[in-house]
Chains A and B, each alone.
Chain A
Amino acid sequence: MTEAPAWRLPPVWVLLVAVLLIVCAEVGGASMVRFKIELTRWARGVMLAHPEIHGLVGVRDVDERILDEALVKFDAGLRLFHIHAEGMGLVIIATTTVAATLVRTPPARPVMITLLTVGGAGYPLGYLLWAALIPYFGMERGKAIAEWLFWIPFGGATIVALWWLAAVVTLRLVRR
């Protein structure tokens, strides 16, 4: 068998972050199932305590529909945290391995690995924040906060680093 070059290991702190993210995703998924009733009760209680934010009018038929819609989004936020954290943990391991192996210039490599790791780990937390904010601030306000605090900065970092990595691999392929 012709010896192909070996992969290089990314820094251990990167692997630790990726594994912790996957652990959080698994714990989050399990908690969603185990504490579904408690979580729903908590979110409903907070929403009832802030009727003006959710547009509750005191008419049962109207309010129940609004509460149901918000609770569906609350549940969706937790689910999206679960699946994105699982996926991004693996994306961090795969992409930082490629960067550790194929990015040769010393200043570029740590910067790219940091962007991939911090961006990948931070982005899913935005869904957790969104879910937590829905009962206090409503769906749209909560979404806007999560977007500016997590999705745009961390998701943006990941996207920039991924296209940068793709450009580096393309250059290496062309120069061979």
Chain B
Amino acid sequence: MLPSRHFQPPGGPPIELRRPPLAIVLVAVLVIALGETGGAAMSQLAPAVERYATARVDANAEAHGLLGSPEYDDEVRSRAVYSAEAGLSFFHTHAEGLGLILFFTSTLVASVVAGRRVRAALYALLTAGSLFPLGYLAYSVAVLELGRDSGIEAAERWVLIPLGSAAIVGLAGLAVCLTARVRAAARPSLP
């Protein structure tokens, strides 16, 4: 039901929630689908994942600093496998969250941001940011291939920080646009 003519809600007139471009909707749905599927795969394939991770650590013995001493090597191996599994778990949880964040924030951009170029820039930043969870897949692979510390550093530097920064800048940009809209709505209109 529409509000009566005399009722003006705070912050401006009511708006319709608009749909962002199809490509962005597709990315949001894909990220959520990947998150769900990743969670199910992690649960069903846990022993296979652990076997694969252990084999990759052994295949990259030099990168992991394995010395041939069973006690020490077991400790190094289990830490690396734990980190790789943690990366998969973070992928699952972050993909679910960031897919939703892209869906809701891009809907806000489509609905309240007036400038075409600003809208395009925010879409690009938010979409790049929604790919942040893929950084955790890279994290898992890098831990196994490059060694635990070097792998984590590489994934953070080349994937997680750039994509995470894109998400933060996009969200901050959207906050600025919303602030500008609230201020514009609060300004007294000319008779």
Contact = CB atoms under 8 A, between A and B. Distances in A.
Interface string B12-47: 000011111111011011101100110010010000
A62 interface: no
B18 A4 contact: yes
Q: Which of A151, A162, A172 has the most CB of B within 10 A?
A: A162
Contacts of B97: 87
A169 to B, nearest CB: 4
Interface stretch (B68-76, B103-111, B150-158): B103-111
A4 B36 contact: no
B114 interface: yes
Which of B16, B28, B29: most chain A Cβ within 10 A?
B29
B104 A166 contact: no
Given A91-B96, A155-B40, A159-B40, A1 B114 contact: yes
B169 interface: no
B114 A159 contact: no
A4 B19 contact: yes
Interface of A: 1-7, 87, 90-91, 94-95, 98, 101-102, 151, 155-156, 158-159, 162-163, 165-166, 169-170, 172-173, 176
B40 A95 contact: no
Given A95-B29, A172-B22, A158 B116 contact: no
Contacts of B20: 4
Interface of B: 16-23, 25-26, 28-30, 32-33, 36-37, 40, 43, 96-97, 99-100, 103-104, 107, 110, 113-116
Given A169-B26, A176-B22, A94 B36 contact: no
A21 B92 CA distance: 20
Contacts of B96: 87, 91
The 7 closest A-B pairs by CB, nearest first: A162-B33, A4-B18, A94-B103, A1-B114, A169-B26, A6-B16, A173-B22
A73 B40 CA distance: 19
A7 B36 contact: no
B17 A94 contact: no
Given A6-B16, A102-B25, A172-B22, A159 B103 contact: no
